[in-house]
Amino acid sequence: MKKAIWPGRILSGLVVLFLAFDAVIKLLEVPAAVEATAKLGFPPGTLFALGAIQLVCLIAYLYPRTAILGAVLWTGYLGGAIATHLRTGAPLFSLIFPFVVAALLWGGLWLRDRRTRAVLAPRNLVPAQSI
């Protein structure tokens, strides 16, 4: 799987760039981010906290020893985004996009991290007969 390391790093890097951009515009309380967050029903004062949460998740994802924890935290955060968009009646793309981002996070991690491959290997899944 040595050939998978660089594609995994590239995939993870692209997702990290997007998520870092999203965290920074929230931390800086860019007017477009304030407006978008208000449309989702969040008060403007929560924007900085959301950006800080994203930054913590991002740091955990980037640090190799906590990368799996970071992916789990991001999955929870993005699941909350899906729930929020669903609650507000957002368009289908707004519901699918966080799911795609989470899948890319895990895909990049799976490609670049042998521990993740070991944990998520198909042979480690519970067979249907034992359920």
Domain boundaries, the chain: 2-119
Spatial separation of the C-alpha atoms in residues 79 and 102, rounded to whole Å:
9
Please report which confidence band the pLDDT of residue 45 belongs to, taking 50, 70 and 90 as the band edges. confident
Is residue 126 pLDDT above 60, yes or no? Answer: no
Please report which confidence band the pLDDT of residue 5 belongs to, taking 50, 70 and 90 as the band edges. confident
Q: Are 108 and 8 in contact (CB under 8 A)?
A: yes
Q: What is the pLDDT of residue 131?
A: 46
Give the rounded percent of residues in the chain with a pLDDT score beyond 70: 92
Q: Which one is predicted more confidently, 121 or 125? A: 121
pTM: 0.86
Residue 90 has phi, psi (to 5 degrees) of -65, 160
Please report which confidence band the pLDDT of residue 14 belongs to, taking 50, 70 and 90 as the band edges. very high
Question: Mean pLDDT across the chain, nearest whole number?
Answer: 90
DSSP H or E segment with residue 13: helix 2-27
Q: What is the pLDDT of residue 54?
A: 97
C-alpha dihedral sign at 120, 112, 7, 1: negative
